[in-house]
Structures are given as structure tokens and as C-alpha cells.
């Protein structure tokens, strides 16, 4: 159960979580039983907006975007390394949300990495049931990492009521 995590900083690193911190969050959210890889990319507002516009048709920067990789071609051996995809984290949006929500920046980054990782593994929150399931897993993973439940004061919600700017399945 190994997850190879690459972290790309497309913004200055000062004040941002260390790559090892982001690795920890991604690995905690990995539910697979084999080898896999993922890229976490921290971006500015311009790149976040451009990606959200290009892939979701929405002209604003959002907190997290998940881009699942296409399936590998058939016939590869089971031990072949599987690339899950990319999780894009928009640094200015995360900083603003953490402040607005009264969370530490570290807690919010961990939450968004876990959330993005779950999307890469096929989870979603289009319905109330999906949202409840996904939120329960997020809360459990975050508790294991020593962070409070990000949904403690909010009931599970459908997609249209998800945290501001969140991109579920880009």
C-alpha cells in the first residue's frame, strides 16, 4: 500500500505546508491496496482560475480541483504503478477560507488534500448520501491526523451547498 506523492509549488513556498506534510495527508487518504502515484500542485489565483475555467467552465479560482488520470491500458501486470491523477490546491483561496472559517491553515490544507484524494479514488458528493459518506471518511482521516472534524457544525450537504468554490469532480 504505497503512495508516491509528488508536490509541485507553482507559488513561493514561504508560509506553505512542507511537502512532507502534504505527503502525510495524501497517504492517509489513500484507500488502495497497491502502488499508486499522485501529484499535488499548489497554484496561484491565475492558474486556479484558468484551470477551473478550462475544465469546468467556471471563471473563478476554487479551493481544490481533482483531475483523475485515465485508466491504464489493459494487459499491464497487476504490480504496474497506477497514477491516480492531480490535486490542484489554490493557495490564496485556501488562505482566505481558513481565515473565514476560523481554521488553521494546516488543518484546511490537510482537509482539502484528503478531499481531493477521495475524489481521485472515485468518491463524490452529488447526493446527500454520497456527501454523508464522503464527509464521514474525511472526518475520520482528519481525526487520525490530529485535526478536528471540518463538518462538526454543518450537516452533510448536496453539491450545490458544498464549501464555497469547491470543485467536486473536475
Q: Is residue 96 part of a domain?
A: yes
What per-residue confidence (pLDDT) applies to 2? 86
pLDDT(170) > 60: no
**Complete edge-to-edge strand list for the sheet that includes strand 3-9:** 3-9, 36-43, 82-90, 64-68
Domain span at 40? 3-161
Q: Is residue 97 part of a domain?
A: yes
Q: Is residue 151 part of a domain?
A: yes
Q: Is residue 55 part of a domain?
A: yes
pLDDT(155) > 90: no
CATH number, position 38: 3.40.390.30
pLDDT tens, position by position, 96-105? 999 999 999 9
The grid coordinates of residue 94 equal 485556501
Q: What 3-state class would DSSP assign to 149? A: coil
Q: Is residue 167 part of a domain?
A: no
Q: What is the pTM of this model?
A: 0.85
Q: Is residue 36 part of a domain?
A: yes
Q: What 3-state class would DSSP assign to 137? A: helix
Q: How many domains does the chain divide into?
A: 1
Per the listing, cell 475555467 goes with 53
Q: Is residue 153 part of a domain?
A: yes
Amino acid at each position: 500500500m504505497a503512495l508516491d506523492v509528488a508536490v509541485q509549488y507553482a507559488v513561493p513556498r514561504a508560509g506553505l505546508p512542507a511537502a512532507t506534510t502534504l505527503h502525510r495527508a495524501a497517504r492517509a487518504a489513500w484507500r488502495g491496496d497497491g502502488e499508486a502515484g499522485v501529484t499535488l500542485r499548489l497554484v496561484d489565483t491565475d492558474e486556479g482560475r484558468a484551470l477551473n475555467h478550462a475544465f469546468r467552465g467556471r471563471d473563478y479560482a476554487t479551493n481544490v480541483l481533482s483531475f483523475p488520470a485515465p485508466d491504464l491500458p489493459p494487459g499491464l501486470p497487476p504490480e504496474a504503478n497506477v497514477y491516480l491523477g492531480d490535486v490542484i490546491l489554490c493557495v490564496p483561496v485556501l488562505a482566505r477560507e481558513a481565515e473565514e472559517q476560523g481554521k488553521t491553515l494546516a488543518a484546511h490544507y490537510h482537509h482539502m488534500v484528503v478531499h481531493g484524494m477521495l475524489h481521485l479514488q472515485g468518491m463524490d458528493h452529488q447526493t446527500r448520501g454520497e456527501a454523508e459518506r464522503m464527509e464521514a471518511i474525511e472526518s475520520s482521516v482528519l481525526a487520525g491526523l490530529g485535526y478536528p472534524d471540518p463538518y462538526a457544525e454543518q450537516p452533510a450537504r448536496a453539491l450545490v451547498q458544498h464549501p464555497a468554490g469547491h470543485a467536486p469532480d473536475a
